[in-house]
Structure 1
Amino acid sequence: MSEGLTRVGSMITPSLLTATTALSALARAGMEHMVVAPGSRSAPVAYAAAAAQESGALRVHVRIDERAAAFTALGISRSTGRPAAVLTTSGTAVGNLLPAVMEASHSGVPLVALTADRPPELRGTGANQTTFQPGVFEAFVRAQVDLVPDDQNPAAETLDRALAAAGGSRTTAPGPVHLNLGLRDPLYPWTEEDHVFLRNWAVELAAELAENRPARIAHPWSVFDESLVRDSPDIATGGLPRDIGTTVREHNVRGGGIAAPSGENHGKRTSTPDGVRAVVMAGDGAGPGTARFAAEAGLPLLAEPSSNARFGTSAVHSYQNVLELDLVDQVDTVVLIGRPTLSRHVANLLRRKDVRVLAVRPGPVAWFEEGRRDEEVVSSFHEVLDLIGPVRKGWFETWEAAGVAAGDALRTQTNFLPALTGLHVAHAVWDACAADGAVLVAGSSNPIRDLDLVALPGDPVAVVANRGVSGIDGTVATAHGVGLGTGRPVRVFLGDLTFLHDAGGLLMGHGEEVPDVQLVVLNDNGGGIFGKLEHGAVAQDERYTNTVERFFGTPHQVSLPDLCAAYAVEYSRADTAIELAALFAAPLRGRRVIEVPIDRAGLREFHQGIREAAQDAARQFLAKHPAGE
């Protein structure tokens, strides 16, 4: 705060001083967006936010539902690498932030929970709308501050330390922080000095930021490539060279070939004399550098959709089906980047006693405790090259061809069906995003798994998915946040229950900034994923058929057209592939829900059939072309 404003400060309402101190610290830490949920105790911060928006210092969004507000801020922060704050009043409003804070913690997202509270003298007195807010997020935040400042300078220093923790350190992953502000009455600007103070503060803050807008604070490993966020492009590879191929070629020249493995192999199966049989596993958040590394190193790449590495020449088609073949028994090394979240086959491979796992992590991650899994952590792809040695001749080509055979058979088998399935829609959604550049937000449960089965490697598609805790809550609001943060159109692929769970995320106040968001709702009237799990087999026993349908299938009678009309969102329905393609061909502008009705009856049998067809085709290829031949 400037000297002039500090001098006036003795006459300023204390709650406004606290509010402006907090927002100044956030803006200087890189915050550009703030999401405000209305409330009385938080009013001083809301007034300060309004002044900051008017001056151009901040972009402020209002949501009446605190959970939707939190996930909107999460989407902004995850897609930009900058802290975004969500503001709530006191009481139960604070509790509504917990799901987004949990997701931010496990995803390494610098979300800021900014909660208003009663001052300490009112806590524990029975004061209305008062609960125990300090420490409410303790298990998930990187720092927490209970701030009731009497002296603004120490308060600013405390806030700066807390916000620095959101960006992570050498030993701590990025993640959310909690700033709890105990605010005393009055809670609004009520003197002329207050009005002048707010205006001058906001103008000076905007001028300061115009000269020095801070860079992102999130760890480079957790932010996307310039295809999603178009500033500081080199940060996106986690400190790795943009041209990984040059790195590999230089490595070969220096050593006359890729260096032999160094050090012990911790009891794992040693590479065969004719070369390593390694695969690259790209989990959530692996990043585009992973695809470049795999291509130049000549290794098969198994890339989940939200890895943002599912492109290029190394990504194996239909890799989930290939992992069920005997070919996987030959794998001796897994190069792991990011967090795999979709497949038991991948989890089984990582647990195998005879497989060496090289986990590439340039910094700490929130979702893993050292020593909990048998793996070797390395900080760069350079180290991987030193450790794995030469790759067996023909190894990548075998995986590539097996994947193509499996993928072709899967699509052929699927196309025999007269009606649309989740796989048809997933394929169309992925292709549409590749064509028009929309960011793809993938819902949990079946949609992201359908994408994993059929999304073809090709042009990069920017994918966002809440895989930190993999919940279905907040998906609609997260997508709106991604659109607001990136300024790009967003296409969401989600199931009906995920959509209904966060229908409140569609609610926008009059005059609010509205992103371009298209929601493709795969409506199978319930929870189709449970039919593919063990519960689907249990349901075949007539003693449990009704139980499984009621408690897991959870059918509903919601009319999506009526729901969309209530929220003033455009609605369309696609019953055929042609209708869906026509909707995708139109420019993605404004907000629209596209409902695609499908039948979940027989879903378990359908997936068993396509899996068998895919694996049979791959086995036939491998019988004629064994690995390495």
Structure 2
Amino acid sequence: MTAQLSSMEAARLAVSALVWGGVRDVVIAPGSRSAPLAYALAEAETREELRLHVRIDERGAAFTALGLSLGSLRPVPVVTTSGTAVGELLPAVMEANHAGVELLVISADRPEEMRGTGANQTTVQPGLFGIHVRSAVDIPAGDDPTDAVRTSLLSAKGIPLAPLLEDLREMAATPSQGQPTAPTDLGPHQGAVGPVHINLPFRDPLFPEQRDFTGQDDVGATATVAAEPGGRPTGDVPPKTEGREPGWTIDWPVSLVEPAVHATDERRTVVVAGHGAGAIAEAFARAHRLPLLAEPSSNARFGPNAIGPYRMLLGRFGTQVERAVVFGRPTLSRPVAALLAREDVQTALYQPEPVAWFEPGRRRERVISEPEDLSLFAGSGPDGWVQLWRRAAGAADVALIHVLDAEPGLTGLRVGRSVWLNTRGRLVLGSSNPIRDVDLAGTPIDIPDAFVHANRGLAGIDGTVATASGIALGARIGTRALMGDLTFLHDAGSLLLGPGEPEPDLQIVVVNDSGGGIFSTLEHGKVGEQASYASAVERLFGTPHRADLASLAAGYGIQHRLVKDADELDTVLSEPVIGRSMVEVRTDRSRLRSLHAEVAAAIATATSELLR
């Protein structure tokens, strides 16, 4: 029978496996049952193998880890104690599932013999995240976690577990307490990048006998006690590398840059670039002479074929579209959704590898994985096709600016436009109105200056401050986040950093309209115009508040600046982002519905000549 490891030995082995697998940042929330992991991680940080980030709120910790993974392009664990602490991670796990982010949930737990006994802070943690994780493993207390942790890391990267499971099960033929030591496949998204759950039960004692931060206690247990076949110790660490900065020159297949040999058919096709599409969508549109309808977080919204206010143009020019090619995941625009749902428009979705945001057979688009097939499907734009969209976009942009210039005070559209044009480094866009304001008013540029992030997996407003903080910490570059006041207030607690914690270079721009403005642009805004429903709509959807954002920022030690006009806003946004700060812009949402109607009317008038 295999000798049982102490909790500290098991924790050190788990940390060693994480470092071996490329983990360089770990977010941890305080707790007792997770103490062995805390000590082992502190030892690893002392050895400069990783960087720790401590957060008192598990939900914020999980979104910080998600942001760190997005910013660094590495797997990032969030470590918690047992009980409700694990449940707090669910929103971030759900987002990571649908967005395809390498988030590692490492939950400490009571050992098997304490489950089902009413023991304090004990519940059923294995399987808690269901289909939202790529794999889940419950490692018996006292077992070596190395293989299970390593295999979980592979699963998070989208490497299928099936070929590895049998070998691992043979290696653990008689696990204690009958618990599996090999990760279990879960959910419909195997083979896609995403979160995993590692449950680590620990028995007392939960602390090192002698803590010298070297990874060794008085019995000589180290993080290298186990070895791989061939003699490589599990504690061996690959050379440390910084997180890769996503670039704009991408090695896409040649056939995506140049039309396929047989793609001679001329078709009125449009390229739709949804969230995460990447620069490949821009290259495809340009090579095939097609208009590019790119959401801000597609990171394809640049170049000569990108059409800025496309959602205002689809109603007028969309009837001429014959085919649509989709890159990434489009989520923002009802006009785009309507276009992709039209029976008279043939659609194709480029999917070279598995993704988590849809299940095969659940969308109407033809799924294409080969570049040449995609090129043949799209064809080349006929003479004048992309030029028509460019002229319409230019006229629409002029009309939009004219309306915004005539509007007294600052508006969300004006702020979104300024943030888009003035941000360098990383840009995080909050859900609801801010990302849609940028989508409408953010004029595409020739070469992008910022890499854009947004939590579009499930498009929730929760965890946005934490996500932005994590992105700034992971990318190690100045980051600007644009969000509404409710999004900010929902996650204001994530501003809390303890003394000595790594501090991000993060500027948060808050469009404060004292409530939820997006609902006034939807059907609820029209309902709210009726006297009998006005009060209910304002209370239930507007959710007004009197929060003093300046005082709140001061309470967390964040520099605050209230901006009152467009010139001041442009000046502030042109400055480099250093340290943490907040820019507050107050707007009036009572005018929001009518403002959007004016913009639509002005664009319709400006582009009417092009339809003749």
Same fold (TM over 0.5): yes
Distance 1:294 1:475 in 2: 32
- Structure 2 residue aligned with 1:396: 386
- Return the offset for 1:243: 9.4
Q: Which amino acid aligns with 1:568?
A: G
Query: Quick one: distance in 1 between partners of 2:72 and 2:139?
Result: 27
Percentage identity across paired residues of the two chains: 47
Cα distance change of structure 1 residues 351 and 106 upon mapping to structure 2, 3 Å threshold: same
Q: Deviations over 1:132-157 (max 9, x none)?
A: 111110120000011125442xx322
Aligned to 1:343: 333
Distance 2:281 2:333 in 1: 19
8 Å Cα contact 2:146-2:234 kept in structure 1? no
Pick from 611, 614, 618: which aligns with 2:603? 614
Aligned equivalent of 1:99? 91
- Contact kept in structure 1, 2:508 and 2:583, CA below 8 Å: yes
Point out where structure 2 has 5 or more consecutive residues left out of the alignment.
161-189, 226-232
Displacement of 1:334 in angstroms is 0.5
| Alignment partner, residue 374 of structure 1 | 364
Q: Note the 1:120-159 alignment, pairs <5 A.
A: 120-152=112-144, 155-159=145-149
Worse-superposed segment, 381-390 or 307-316: 381-390
CA contact (8 A) 1:52 1:202 kept: no
What corresponds to 1:164 in structure 2? Answer: 154
Q: Higher mean Cα deviation, 439-448 or 143-152? A: 143-152
1:23-172 mapped onto 2 (5 Å cutoff)? 23-152=15-144, 155-169=145-159, 172=191
Aligned to 1:576: 565
Paired residue type of 2:425: A
Q: Distance in 2 between matches of 1:212 and 1:125?
A: 44
Amino acid at match of 2:27: V
- C-alpha contact 2:288 2:380 (8 A) present in aligned 1: no
Would you say the 8 A contact 2:14–2:149 is kept in 1? yes
Code of the aligned partner of 1:89: T
- Mark the CA change 1:397 to 1:201 in structure 2 (over 3 Å): closer, same or farther: farther
CA distance in 1: counterparts of 2:239 and 2:552, whole angstroms: 45
Does the CA contact (< 8 Å) of 2:40 and 2:215 recur in 1? Answer: no
1-side partners of 2:585 and 2:592: how far apart?
16
- Tell me which of 213, 231, 239 is aligned to 1:211: 239
Instruction: Report how far residue 383 of structure 1 moved.
Output: 2.0
Matches of 1:192 and 1:542 in 2, distance apart?
68
Q: Which runs of 4+ in 1 moved over 6 A?
A: 192-195, 202-207, 212-216
Is the 2:429–2:483 contact (alpha carbons within 8 Å) kept by the matching residues of 1? yes
Task: Quote the offset at 1:281 in angstroms.
Answer: 0.1
Determine if contact 1:32/1:58 at 8 Å carries over to the other structure.
yes
Q: Using the alignment, how far apart are the partners of 1:310 and 1:97 within structure 2?
A: 32
The structure with the largest helix share of the pair is 1
| Number of equivalences | 571
Paired AA for residue 428 in structure 2: V
Offset at 1:244? 4.9
Residue type at the aligned position of 1:328: G
Q: Secondary structure at the match of 1:440?
A: strand
- Tell me if structure 1 keeps the 8 A contact 2:60–2:494: yes
Aligned to 1:176: 195
Distance apart, 1:581 and its partner CA: 1.9
For 1:200 and 1:280, the matched residues in 2 are separated by: 58
Aligned-residue offset at 1:48: 0.6
Q: Which residue of 1 aligns with 2:433?
A: 446
Conserved? CA contact 1:259–1:387, under 8 Å: no
Q: Distance in 1 between matches of 2:289 and 2:81?
A: 54
Aligned equivalents of 1:37 and 1:206: distance in 2? 26
- In structure 2, distance between residues paired with 1:605 and 1:349: 25
Distance 1:22 1:401 in 2: 58
Quick check: 1:318–1:404 contact (8 Å CA) kept in 2? no
Cα distance, 1:80 vs structure 2: 2.6
For residues 196 and 294 of structure 1, do their structure 2 counterparts lie closer, same or farther at Cα, with a shift above 3 Å needed? closer
Preserved contact between residue 71 and residue 475 of structure 1 (Cα < 8 Å): yes
Structure 1 letter corresponding to 2:39: Y
Q: CA deviation at 1:214?
A: 11
Contact 2:255 2:372 in 1 (8 A): no
Matches within 5 A, 1:205-604: 208-211=236-239, 225-226=246-247, 234=250, 240-241=252-253, 244-245=256-257, 247-248=258-259, 251-252=260-261, 258-260=263-265, 275-325=266-316, 327-433=317-423, 437-458=424-445, 459-460=447-448, 461-604=450-593
Residues 408 and 203 of structure 1: is their aligned pair in 2 closer, same or farther, counting only changes over 3 Å?
A: farther
Deviations 1:39-78 (A, max 9, x none): 1000100001111111111111111111111000000112
**Residue 558 of structure 1: CA displacement?**
0.7
* CA-CA distance at 1:212 after TM superposition: 7.1
Change (3 A) 1:72 1:419: same
- Report SS of the residue matched to 1:116: strand
- Match for 2:300: what amino acid? A
d(CA) in 2 for partners of 1:499, 1:101: 20
C-alpha contact (below 8 Å) 1:52/1:206 kept by paired residues: no
- Counterparts in 2 of 1:288 and 1:547: CA distance versus 1, 3 Å: same
* Separation in 2, partners of 1:549, 1:372: 36
Partner-residue secondary structure (3-state), 1:279: strand
Change (3 A) 1:27 1:214: farther
Change (3 A) 1:28 1:414: same
Tell me the secondary structure at the aligned position of residue 323 of structure 1.
helix
Paired residues of 1:279 and 1:334 also in contact (CA < 8 A): yes
Counterpart of 1:289 in 2: which secondary structure? helix
Q: Does structure 2 conserve the Cα–Cα contact (< 8 Å) formed by 1:13 and 1:189?
A: no
8 Å contact kept, 1:225–1:288:
no
Shift of 1:213: 6.2
Aligned-pair CA distance for 1:173: 1.2
From the superposition, tell whether residues 196 and 339 of structure 1 become closer, same or farther in structure 2 (CA, over 3 Å): closer
1:180-199 to structure 2, matched below 5 A, reads: 180-191=199-210, 197=216
Partner Cα separation in structure 1 for residue 211 and residue 5 of structure 2: 11
CA contact 1:28–1:213 (8 Å) conserved in 2: no
8 Å Cα contact 1:287/1:307 also seen in 2: yes
- Residues 60 and 206 of structure 1, relative CA distance in 2, 3 Å threshold: farther
2:64·2:466 contact (CA, 8 Å) conserved in 1? yes
Question: Partners in 2 of 1:203 and 1:189 — Cα distance?
Answer: 16
Summarize deviations over 1:6-50 as a string: whole Å, max 9, x none: xxx97x961112212222222222211100101100010000111
C-alpha distance in structure 2 between counterparts of 1:77 and 1:400, whole Å:
36
Query: For the Cα contact (< 8 Å) 1:497–1:526, is it kept in 2?
Result: yes
- Point out where structure 1 has 5 or more consecutive residues left out of the alignment: 1-8, 217-223, 228-232, 261-274, 624-629
